[in-house]
Amino acid sequence: MSFDWGNVTHITKVDPAKEFPDDASVLGHTDAVIVGGSDGVTEENCLDAIERVRSEFPNLPLFQEPNSSDHVSKETIEAVDYLLVPAVYNGDKGNFVGKHVDFFTEIGAKPDEMIGSGVPLVGGLVASKGREVVAELAEKVVGEGYVIQNLDSKAAAETNVETTFTPEEVAGAALATESFYQFPMFYIEYSGTYGGPEDVAAAAQYLDDTALVYGGGIKRRQQTDEILDAGADAVIVGDCFHEDTERYRQTIPA
């Protein structure tokens, strides 16, 4: 993942199952967009959201974070810069290695179906050079080291998170991300509730190459600043983009 985090401090998570706000131009104030959600997500609404963001904000870095391979198609892959695949450290096995092996087994077993003939990158090579196609495709997939810290969230329920991590365990997971898995991102997710800077500070001490992002309950610039001051590269703001664009504006750092 050769993505320049230098100027990215504010990322908007767009839920493809929710309506865009009347004034979607506020996205002009964010630094990147992730398309992904939990409920009612389909390949079609992902593609709609991706294409809308891409056409209205062509220069905005754009990611898809699918929570099932059903939300991924050759069209979505073509349209985004990267596919983010969560590796949930405190979830069950099916949300870490199990899911990843399944995903790559599927890619390996069905390169034609997964890729189709419309990918400019590969053109007519699909049939004759399936292996290379798979390798190209796989380059768009990057891992996110992920810790879910709100047990009452949909995200926790879906990944079978039964215990949150202590700050020491968050730090350990961050170090594992930086040193062992080498995923390019480490994501602390408080999903709907503001978790404060403690976990961020614990993780930040070990992360040099890995981007550190925080999401959950951010509704004011003061919170954004607190998280960035604790060492995060960026905050992720979701709900209030859909629900209250005035509030959303107030989450954007100076």
62 - beta bridge partners?
33
Q: How far is the CB of 1 from its own copies (least distance, A)?
A: 11
Q: Of the two residues 90 and 224, which places its CB atom closer to its own copies in the complex? A: 90
- C-alpha dihedral sign at 35, 38, 44, 48: negative
Residues annotated within the binding site for sn-glycerol 1-phosphate are: 13, 187-192, 217, 238-239
Q: How wide is the angle at C-alpha 207 spanned by C-alphas 196 and 251, nearest 5°?
A: 35
Q: Of the two residues 78 and 225, which places its CB atom closer to its own copies in the complex? A: 78
Expressed in percent and rounded to 5, the helix, strand and coil fractions of the chain are 45, 15, 40
Q: Of the two residues 23 and 198, which places its CB atom closer to its own copies in the complex? A: 198
Residues annotated within the binding site for Mg(2+) are: 15, 38
How far, in Å, CA of 237 to CA of 224, rounded? Answer: 9
How far, in Å, CA of 149 to CA of 170, rounded? Answer: 10
Q: How far is the CB of 251 from its own copies (least distance, A)?
A: 30
Q: Of the two residues 19 and 180, which places its CB atom closer to its own copies in the complex? A: 180
Interface contacts to its own copies, rule CB under 8 A: 85, 87, 89, 92-93, 96-97, 100-109, 131, 134-135, 138-139, 141-143, 168-169, 171-173, 175-176, 178-182, 205-206, 208
Q: How far is the CB of 214 from its own copies (least distance, A)?
A: 19
Please list, in sequence order, all residues whose beta carbon lies within 8 angstroms of the beta carbon of residue 99, skipping any fewer than 6 positions away. Answer: 85
Q: How far is the CB of 167 from its own copies (least distance, A)?
A: 10
The residue length of the chain stands at 254
